[in-house]
Amino acid sequence: MSRATTETLNETLAIDREQDRVVDARKELAKQAAIVIAASLFVALCARVSLPLPFTPVPLTLQNFGVLVVGLLLGSRRAFAALVLYLVEGACGLPVFSLGSGVAYLLGPTGGFLFSYPFVALVAGYLYERSTRGFAWAALSSVAAELLLFAGGLSWLAVFTHSVSLAIRYGLYWFVFAEVIKVLMAAAVAARWRQRRSSQN
């Protein structure tokens, strides 16, 4: 085989390898995009499980559970992207929130909770992906994320109602027990998922 033929063959193989890398990168990008979209829809489904309460403008919903699960399972970056997409979907009028949709709903009394969601998922994912990935760490990561959630939600409510005491009454008292259950459920799902993945590897 001549030197020219060898160089031509090497160039062809290099081009083929580069094309394969491009194809693999596109497949991976499509896969990650599908995961992010599916996660935003999962939160939307959780939001449909909602119970309006007569004594507060904040409904009791599984939304927070969905956000925690997405954060724990997807990790910080993908979870953040999924919840940003979720807010964009709602702002565009898609029925992904518990009791409404659109920009006006985002600016309503529950807006602080909604705008906190990407950061809540980010915190839960960031802490959990840097831990031993057990149930206890999943629960602690979820608690830290919930603290951020209620800091954002109650601050918004305080501005909305012009009263810190009203914000706490409307946005905290009635939800503590339910949030404890959601944290434990999300931690159990994450720990179980991690255990199953470990057994498969």
pLDDT (tens digit per residue) in 157-187: 999 999 999 999 999 988 999 999 999 999 9
Could you give the CA distance from residue 149 to residue 119 in angstroms, rounded to a whole number? 8
Could you give the CA distance from residue 199 to residue 184 in angstroms, rounded to a whole number? 22
Indicate if the pLDDT at residue 9 is higher than 60. no
State the average pLDDT over residues 124-149: 94
Report if residue 102 sits inside a domain. Answer: yes
| Closest C-alpha among 48, 86, 82, 43 to residue 65 | 43
Residue 143 is part of which domain span? 3-190
Q: What is the pLDDT of residue 199?
A: 75
Report if residue 197 sits inside a domain. Answer: no
Count how many domains the chain has.
Answer: 1
Indicate if the pLDDT at residue 16 is higher than 60. no
Instruction: Give CA separation, 45 vs 86, 131, 161, in Å.
Output: 11, 29, 29
Report if residue 63 sits inside a domain. Answer: yes
| Closest C-alpha among 144, 156, 164 to residue 71 | 144
Report if residue 195 sits inside a domain. Answer: no
Indicate if the pLDDT at residue 141 is higher than 80. yes
The CATH number of residue 167's host domain is: 1.10.1760.20
Could you give the CA distance from residue 71 to residue 24 in angstroms, rounded to a whole number? 26
Q: What is the pLDDT of residue 2?
A: 57
**Cβ density class 167-190: b for 16+ within 10 Å, e for less:** beebbbeebeeebeebbeebbebb
| Closest C-alpha among 182, 72, 88, 199 to residue 137 | 72
Could you give the CA distance from residue 163 to residue 141 in angstroms, rounded to a whole number? 30
Supply 111's token pair. Answer: 């807006």
Report if residue 71 sits inside a domain. Answer: yes
Report if residue 198 sits inside a domain. Answer: no
As a residue count, the chain comes to 201
Report if residue 24 sits inside a domain. Answer: yes
- Residue bearing the bigger pLDDT, 54 or 188: 188
Report if residue 143 sits inside a domain. Answer: yes
- Tens digit of each residue's pLDDT (9 = 90 or more) over 73-125: 999 999 999 999 999 999 999 999 988 889 999 999 999 999 999 999 999 99
Q: What is the pLDDT of residue 132?
A: 80
State the average pLDDT over residues 26-33: 88
